């Protein structure tokens, strides 16, 4: 029993041991806070990517197969709730003309940039409503001047012109107002492979309002028009589509449903043997994996802090053993075995690691939770924005505390403590107790 008693007394009476504790605490703290913020951002981005992408997308079905046929086959699947056709194209938006433009300054101080080269997405608003969040993005626009008049029919022709919906930020930047004319230039190749020629297409649209998804990256790149007007512009047959958005009943079964649908389409028509069905994760693979990659890189860097903490702990414990040579002698005389005496130092190490981990976990959780308040305060007091929320259209700094990760980090910290105190303890066990008893 003397081990616990002595270990405790040594720890309490030797403030230098705080160094080791603080080291471990910092290691655990940083691993928890940083990973929780990264996970938070990752989660937020995932959510935003997810909301801007359909559960499943059929990529490039041949345009010659009418949507109705595909729809019947797709909606026959047990996990499909609905699907809607899209016609994706590209184009160059002409400048809106000579008027005073206002720059939209983000919270980061950077000008929100919107290229004029955009993806033009032709959709059927009625069908799309059951499949993507488009309808919600329209109603989410706060400023009435930029909101579509009738969100249920946002892409109806205005006068004799087809409608276009652009992002709220683009509309702001161009100082555009509803009813403005938008000119789009695009091209289309025709002819055979040998004698291919590019035909330019110029089309004029009327601005009917704006949309705002929660993902700025999506907003800046896309504009929406009615799929029928798109088909006319591209001279595609009625019912043609080059992407089908699918809403699932159970999004967790996206992978298996995608596989099943790929097969269904292949069987339906041999022209679709190369048509693939992607999950929303696959569609956004690059964005998701880059954040994931950053997170693992960060973890690696942070473990270095743990190593420094371990080293600190080792030094303090090792110093303690050296200083305590005299105590080791008398403890042995009083009936302590070498193993028992060395376990005093092992216990010291364990307590340091345990206290450090617990403090690290507690402070880690607290600082994750209150990080947003801290960030707000920094912004208000010093105009420093550590965690720009604007990029991802977030209301606050996101965080996500994962109990498993906390457990892993604590377990690692404890293991480090055990290993690092094991060495001095082993040295204590091998010390000759008489050496210290002979002299003072």
- 338 is an interface residue for other proteins by CB under 8 A: yes
193 binds other proteins (CB under 8 A): no
Strands 80-93 and 243-248 turn out to be: antiparallel
Among 154, 329, 360, 417, binds other proteins (CB under 8 A): 329
Q: Which residues pair with 184 in a beta bridge?
A: 93, 203
Q: Does 72 bind other proteins (CB under 8 A)?
A: no
Q: Which stretch binds other proteins (CB under 8 A): 16-24, 63-71, 204-212, 322-330?
A: 322-330
- Asked if residue 110 binds other proteins (CB under 8 A), the reply is no
- Cα separation, 203 vs 184, in Å, equals 5
Smallest distance, other proteins to C-beta of residue 331, A: 8
Minimum distance between the CB of residue 338 and other proteins, rounded to whole angstroms?
7
For residues 396 and 373, give the distance between their C-alpha atoms in angstroms, rounded to a whole number. 9
**8 Å CB contact between 241 and 71:** no
Among 150, 190, 204, 337, binds other proteins (CB under 8 A): 337
Regarding 332 and contact with other proteins (CB under 8 A), the answer is yes
Q: Which is nearer to other proteins, 221 or 437 (CB)?
A: 437
| Residue of 43, 136, 251, 340 that binds other proteins (CB under 8 A) | 340
Answer yes or no whether residue 259 interacts with other proteins by CB under 8 A: no
Using the rule CB under 8 A, which residue among 62, 217, 326, 388 binds other proteins? 326
- For other proteins, which is the closer residue by CB, 40 or 433? 433
C-alpha distances in Å from residue 425, one per residue of 10, 65, 100, 419, 428:
14, 76, 76, 10, 5
User: What does the per-residue mask of binding to other proteins show for 379-418, with x meaning CB under 8 A?
Assistant: ----------------------------------------
142 touches other proteins (CB under 8 A): no
The Cα-based distances of 199 to 90, 136, 186 in angstroms read 14, 36, 9
User: Does residue 6 touch other proteins according to CB under 8 A?
Assistant: yes
Nearer to other proteins by Cβ, of 245 and 347: the residue is 347
Residue 238 burial (CB < 10 Å; 0-12/13-18/19+)?
exposed
Task: Decide if residue 4 touches other proteins (CB under 8 A).
Answer: yes
- In the complex with other proteins, the residue whose CB is nearer, 199 or 337, is 337
What is the nearest approach in angstroms of other proteins to the Cβ of residue 437?
6
Best CA proximity match to 242, nearest among 257, 231, 255: 231
One residue of 100, 334, 380, 404 binding other proteins per CB under 8 A: 334
Annotate 5-14 with b (16+ C-beta within 10 A) or e (fewer): ebbeebbeee
- x/- track of binding to other proteins for residues 13-52 (CB under 8 A): xx--------------------------------------
Give the distance, in angstroms, between the CA of residue 331 and the centroid of all CA atoms in the same chain. Answer: 56
333 binds other proteins (CB under 8 A): yes
Which of 327, 343, 347, 416: binder of other proteins (CB under 8 A)? 327
Judged by CB under 8 A, the stretch of 12-20, 29-37, 133-141, 244-252 that binds other proteins is 12-20
Nearer to other proteins, 129 or 427 (CB): 427
How many residues belong to the site for other proteins (CB under 8 A)? 31
Q: Which is nearer to other proteins, 55 or 327 (CB)?
A: 327
Choose, by CB under 8 A, the member of 111, 301, 330, 369 that binds other proteins: 330
Choices 50-58, 171-179, 327-335, 401-409 (CB under 8 A): range interacting with other proteins: 327-335
- The answer to whether residue 117 forms part of the interface with other proteins (CB under 8 A) is no
Site residues (vs other proteins, CB under 8 A): 1-2, 4-6, 9-10, 12-14, 326-327, 329-340, 433-434, 436-440
């Amino acid at each position: 029993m003397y081990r616990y008693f002595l270990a405790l007394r040594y720890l309490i009476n030797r403030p230098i041991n705080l160094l080791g504790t603080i080291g471990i605490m910092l290691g655990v703290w940083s691993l928890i806070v940083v990973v929780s913020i990264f996970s938070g951002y990752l989660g937020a981005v995932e959510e935003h990517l997810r909301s801007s992408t359909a559960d499943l997308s059929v990529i490039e079905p041949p345009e010659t197969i009418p949507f109705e046929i595909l729809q019947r086959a797709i909606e026959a699947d047990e996990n499909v709730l609905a699907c809607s056709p899209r016609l994706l194209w590209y184009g160059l938006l002409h400048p809106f003309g000579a008027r005073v433009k206002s720059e939209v300054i983000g919270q980061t101080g950077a000008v929100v940039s919107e290229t004029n080269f955009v993806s033009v997405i032709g959709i059927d608003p009625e069908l799309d409503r059951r499949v993507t969040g488009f309808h919600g993005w329209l109603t989410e626009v706060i400023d009435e001047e930029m909101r579509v008049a009738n969100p249920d029919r946002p892409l109806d022709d205005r006068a004799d012109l087809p409608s276009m919906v652009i992002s709220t930020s683009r509309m702001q930047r161009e100082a555009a107002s509803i009813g403005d004319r938008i000119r789009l230039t695009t091209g289309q190749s025709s002819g055979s492979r040998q004698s291919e020629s590019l035909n330019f297409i110029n089309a004029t649209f009327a601005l009917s309002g704006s949309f705002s998804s929660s993902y700025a990256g999506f907003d800046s790149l896309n504009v929406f028009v009615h799929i029928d007007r798109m088909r006319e512009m591209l001279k595609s047959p009625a019912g043609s589509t080059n992407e089908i958005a699918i809403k699932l009943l159970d999004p967790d079964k996206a992978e298996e449903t995608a596989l099943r649908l790929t097969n269904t389409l292949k069987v339906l028509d041999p022209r679709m043997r190369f048509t693939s069905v992607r999950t929303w994760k696959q569609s956004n693979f690059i964005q998701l994996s880059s954040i994931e990659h950053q997170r693992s890189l960060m973890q690696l860097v942070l473990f270095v802090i743990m190593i420094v903490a371990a080293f600190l702990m080792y030094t303090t414990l090792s110093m303690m053993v050296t200083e305590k040579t005299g105590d080791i002698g008398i403890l042995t005389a009083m009936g302590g075995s070498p193993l028992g005496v060395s376990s005093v130092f092992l216990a010291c190490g364990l307590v340091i690691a345990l206290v450090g981990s617990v403090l690290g976990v507690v402070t880690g959780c607290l600082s994750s939770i209150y990080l947003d308040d801290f960030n707000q305060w920094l912004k208000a007091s010093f105009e420093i924005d550590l965690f720009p929320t604007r990029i991802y259209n977030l209301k606050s700094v996101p965080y996500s505390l994962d109990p498993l990760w906390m457990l892993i980090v604590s377990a690692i910290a404890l293991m480090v403590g055990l290993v690092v105190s094991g060495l001095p303890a082993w040295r204590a066990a091998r010390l000759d107790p008489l050496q210290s008893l002979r002299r003072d």
